[in-house]
Amino acid sequence: MLARGCDFAPDTIVAFYCGSAPNVSEGKAAFPSLTLGAEIRGWWDESQSMKMKDLRQAIAAKKDRLDRMRPLPLEALSRLEHYYDIEITYSSNAIEGNTLSPVETTLVIEQGITITGKPLKDHLEALDHYDAIRYVRELAREQTPLTESEVRNLHRLVMHRSRADIAGRYADLARYVRTETGRYEFPSPAEIPALMGDFCEWLRAVPDRPEKAFEAHRRLVTIHPFNDGNGRTARLLMNLILIRCGYPPVAIRPEDRPTYIRGLQQAQAGVGAESLELLLFQRLDATLDEYFRALAPPL
């Protein structure tokens, strides 16, 4: 399976190079050269590893540059945070099916305008998420270890108006998702308290850094502890950890959704989290560049 933004997956390259498709009916090997396939897969893994290494180094250098710019001008920082909080609200809701555009989301949050023809639920989701991301900013200033109640409070805020009946409450229903390989079932409601206890122990034990933020996101989505709103809560938690360790929060854009969903499914299927991790690091790298452009002094 190929993540969006890459040209060919290893198996596709093998098939193209060998000029052969799998011959299942005759029970023969899918490709005439297994050695060649192994070599190409090795090259592919090494290429992805080098890409990730370069990306991490670039991000570390940009983080050093951002730290040297601190303290940032308060007015510029406030405007930037407000812009990104609305952008993250729009994008996080949009990839879950919310139909408000970026401009409409801004109007709902800043002016309380009702958008004609758009569902009430979409308006409420925008208001809920904006309140939740503002809470994330406040919580990030506290350096005390994150607790299970704070994770549940993130969910309570992001579902407060749109789904008050489930806000902050663990799931009491079976949850599953249809994937490219079939139906994936999340842990049962009876398993959730223990899994969340272990998850929050892990949160307290691991130092804050981008790797922790991205893994926390993946782990929470995999537990899927709520009936709805798991993705939004996981992305809020991810950004909380990023802000705590001095990085800007990142938006997973609607155009990232195919790669994002595929990466989550691969991780849940045990294939590996590399595709998802690469996307999240790419988004962090791009967001740092956006911050520098926004904070650059006028010419």
Distance between CA 95 and CA 166 in Å, rounded? 20
Contact 106, 268 (CB under 8 A): no
- pLDDT tens digits along 146-191: 999 999 999 999 999 999 999 999 999 999 888 777 888 999 999 9
Residue 94 has pLDDT above 70, yes or no: yes
Residues 6 or more apart whose CB falls under 8 angstroms from that of 163 comprise 228, 229
Q: What percent of the chain has pLDDT over 90?
A: 73
Question: What percent of the chain has pLDDT above 70?
Answer: 84
Mean pLDDT computed over 142-146: 89
187, β-bridge pairs = none
Handedness of CA 116, 121, 122, 124 (dihedral sign): positive
Per-residue pLDDT tens over the stretch 50-85:
889 999 999 999 999 999 999 988 898 999 999 999
Choose the CATH number for 73-295 among 1.10.1660.10, 2.60.40.10, 1.10.287.3510, 1.10.3290.10: 1.10.3290.10
Catalytic residue among 129, 155, 217, 224: 224
pTM of the model: 0.84
Q: In terms of C-beta density within 10 A (0-12 exposed, 13-18 middle, 19 or more buried), how is residue 208 classed?
A: buried
Task: Provide the pLDDT for residue 42.
Answer: 57
* Length of the chain measured in residues: 299
- What would the pLDDT profile of 251-286 be if each residue is shown by its tens digit? 999 999 999 999 999 998 888 899 999 999 999 999
Distance from the first to the final alpha carbon of the chain: 46
Burial 65-100 (b: 16+ CB within 10 A, else e): ebeeeeeeeeeeeeebbeebbbbbbbbbbbbbebeb
Report domain extents, the chain.
1-70, 73-295
In angstroms, the Cα distances linking 80 to 13, 83, 86, 267 are 43, 5, 10, 33
pLDDT of residue 279: 97
Is 82 designated active site? no
Q: Using an 8 Å Cβ cutoff, are 285 and 59 in contact?
A: yes
